[in-house]
Amino acid sequence: MTPDQILIREVHPYDDDQLSVLIKAVMTEIGASGEGYSINDPEVLAMSQNYAGPRSGYFVLEVDGVVVGGGGFAPLTGATPEVCELRKMYYYPSARRLGKAQEMIEMIFARAKAAGYTKMYLETIESAAAARKLYERNGFTQIGCAQGNTGHSSCDTFYDKDL
């Protein structure tokens, strides 16, 4: 891929269809498409609506006008108000070598901190090795068990980080 224009920006309603396809494709690719994974979350169909709150944010990676990645944060359901969750950070394979995941995760950290959060949590799967390397490189520490009430019972690897 030799993109002419690469942009990280906030999600808009017109991105919802592309994001739904992206999330489902990438989750299926990594083997996370069954019961207990976030692929089944209703928010996947309307990401812009579900991240429009004052303590949430979702961002897309757009290359030449096409959404090829995304990631966001929102309150961790069932946790204290100072804890948020890194959510649905996925990229098509063609977008994984553009060096933009680092830029996006830094934007997510800054926005989450500005929203008043002091800790960020995430869940993933052991086989998502590249994603786990990104998280660890950015200060996430693996913890022993799930936190909050995400409903993602099939995730097997959990992290948190002080913001």
Contact predicate 100/52, CB 8 Å: no
Q: What's the pTM? A: 0.92
CA distance 156 to 127: 9
Max CA pair span of the chain: 43
Where do the domains of the chain lie? 6-162
Per-residue pLDDT of the chain (163 residues; tens, 9 = 90+): 455 789 999 999 999 999 999 999 998 888 888 787 787 788 889 999 999 988 999 999 999 999 999 999 999 999 999 999 999 999 999 898 888 999 999 999 999 999 999 999 999 999 888 899 999 999 999 999 999 999 888 899 999 999 9
Contact predicate 139/159, CB 8 Å: no
Other C-beta atoms closer than 10 Å to the C-beta of 9 total: 12
DSSP labels for 30-69? TT--STTSGGG-GGGG-HHHHT-STT-EEEEEEETTEEEE
Q: Which residue's entry shows tokens 């969750």?
A: 85
6-162, CATH topology level: Aminopeptidase (3.40.630)
